[in-house]
């Protein structure tokens, strides 16, 4: 008990730590209990947070904030318009084509697999091929059931989509326009002596802002390059496959490994075991190498470098809690945890008159 009491006294004796702990606990409770109810508000806050960087960019050139907000908001509306009326229909059309051609694609794949024992009798047996075919048949049945369930829930999803379509732009505009009054109203409910909380927030704000903006551009560039390369190689559904490759950068290490499967599958269903398939896989590997060694370090140079084990753990943990959005925000949330843990032991020196460390992490 003395060990526990001493540990508690060492880490929770400072009021600054208690304030930080209560702020983190309150935010976590609100998200876990009201997250689904206030999801449009949370989504609007995230989008406004991302757009705030552009507003600040225009303000640095002495453009009034209201004018900067209008420029950024109209740009956001134009992007949303392109997304809704050009990109989504194009992707939906390709998804529909893939779904309609799945039976014939499966038949072609089965024929290709059945020829393998004849070409490589010493490596692959007929029983192994039959086992793979049965596995694919089971997965096709499960996929059909999922598509049926999705179609049943599509009406509810359409209603939710319309609500988001109306509310999101409106709330994003007001969050940008009235940022200062909203922040003043929120800080009224926080204690005045909150230096540690402010310190953690400024570091997290810098790291998360850089990460999310960098990841946005990384996704856009990798998607565009992948689409162009796949299109030039003659791969069908290159827009859809390029999008999958672009989204794979959200999950470092894991995304590269997982996404090679759909890329290889689409190439195999179109060309079989051929030089075209090999060229496709080589092109995919070159894109990922350039991303990991050139593009990502360039865009994310100011982001805290997390250990691969920490990244994988964060993806599994937050993805298990919040699904896709947990995966999307896994690294920012891991950055928050890392910043809190790094600041926590140093609060006895940093907030009692001694020289603070020059850099976290």
Question: Per-residue pLDDT tens for 152-169?
Answer: 444 455 666 777 788 889
pLDDT (0 to 100) of residue 350: 46
Query: What gap in Å lies between CA 273 and CA 287, rounded to an integer?
Result: 21
CA proximity to 324, closest of 251, 262, 256, 260: 251
The share of the chain scoring above pLDDT 70, in percent, equals: 82
pLDDT (0 to 100) of residue 295: 85
CA proximity to 347, closest of 122, 25, 83, 11: 11
Query: What gap in Å lies between CA 318 and CA 32, rounded to an integer?
Result: 12
Angle, alpha carbons 229-231-233 (nearest 5°)? 70
Residue 1 has pLDDT above 70, yes or no: no
| Contact residues for 339 (Cβ-Cβ < 8 A; gap 6+) | 200, 203, 204, 207, 304, 360, 361
Query: What gap in Å lies between CA 65 and CA 320, rounded to an integer?
Result: 40
Q: What is the pLDDT of residues 183-236, one digit of tens each?
A: 888 888 877 777 777 877 777 777 777 777 788 888 899 999 999 999 999 998
- State phi, psi for 347 to the nearest 5 degrees: -70, -25
Categorize the per-residue pLDDT at 10 as very low, low, confident or very high, splitting at 50, 70 and 90: low
CB atoms within 10 A of CB 297: 12
pLDDT (0 to 100) of residue 12: 62
CA proximity to 208, closest of 75, 318, 337, 320: 337
- Phi-psi category of 272—alpha, beta or left, where left has phi over 0 and alpha has psi -120 to 50? left
Range scoring the smallest mean pLDDT among 51-60, 132-141, 236-245, 349-358: 349-358
**The residue to which tokens 């009235």 are assigned:** 178
Query: What gap in Å lies between CA 283 and CA 233, rounded to an integer?
Result: 9
Residue 50 has pLDDT above 50, yes or no: yes
Q: Where are the domains of the chain?
A: 194-348
Categorize the per-residue pLDDT at 352 as very low, low, confident or very high, splitting at 50, 70 and 90: very low
Q: What is the pLDDT of residues 278-293, one digit of tens each?
A: 999 999 999 999 988 8
CA proximity to 211, closest of 330, 48, 314, 309: 330
CB atoms within 10 A of CB 340: 16
């Amino acid at each position: 008990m003395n060990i526990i009491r001493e540990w508690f006294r060492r880490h929770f004796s400072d009021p600054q730590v208690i304030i930080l702990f209560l702020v983190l606990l309150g935010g976590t409770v609100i998200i876990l209990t009201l997250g689904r109810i206030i999801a449009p508000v949370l989504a609007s806050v995230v989008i406004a947070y991302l757009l705030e960087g552009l507003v600040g960019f225009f303000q640095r050139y002495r453009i009034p904030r209201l004018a900067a907000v209008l420029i950024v908001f109209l740009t956001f509306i134009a992007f949303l318009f392109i997304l809704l009326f050009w990109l989504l229909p194009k992707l939906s059309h390709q998804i529909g084509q893939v779904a309609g051609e799945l039976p014939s694609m499966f038949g072609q794949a089965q024929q290709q697999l059945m020829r393998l024992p004849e070409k490589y009798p010493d490596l692959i047996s007929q029983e192994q091929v039959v086992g793979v075919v049965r596995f694919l048949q089971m997965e096709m049945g499960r996929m059909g059931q999922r598509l049926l369930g999705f179609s049943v829930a599509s009406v509810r999803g359409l209603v939710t989509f319309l609500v988001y379509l109306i509310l999101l732009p409106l709330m994003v505009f007001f969050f940008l326009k009235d940022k200062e009054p909203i922040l003043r109203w929120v800080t009224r409910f926080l204690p005045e002596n909150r230096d540690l909380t402010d310190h953690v927030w400024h570091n997290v704000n810098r790291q998360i802002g850089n990460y999310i903006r960098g990841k946005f551009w990384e996704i856009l560039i990798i998607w565009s390059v992948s689409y162009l390369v796949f299109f030039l190689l003659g791969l069908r559904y290159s827009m859809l496959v390029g999008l999958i490759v672009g989204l794979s950068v959200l999950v470092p290490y894991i995304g590269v490994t997982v996404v090679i499967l759909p890329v290889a599958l689409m190439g195999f269903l179109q060309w079989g075991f051929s030089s075209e398939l090999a060229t496709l896989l080589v092109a995919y590997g070159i894109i990922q190498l350039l991303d990991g060694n050139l593009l990502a370090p360039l865009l994310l140079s100011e982001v805290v470098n997390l250990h691969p084990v920490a990244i994988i753990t964060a993806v599994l943990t937050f993805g298990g809690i919040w699904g896709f959005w947990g995966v999307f925000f896994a690294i920012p949330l891991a950055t928050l945890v890392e910043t809190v843990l790094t600041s926590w032991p140093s609060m006895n020196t940093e907030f009692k008159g001694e020289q603070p460390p020059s850099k976290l992490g």
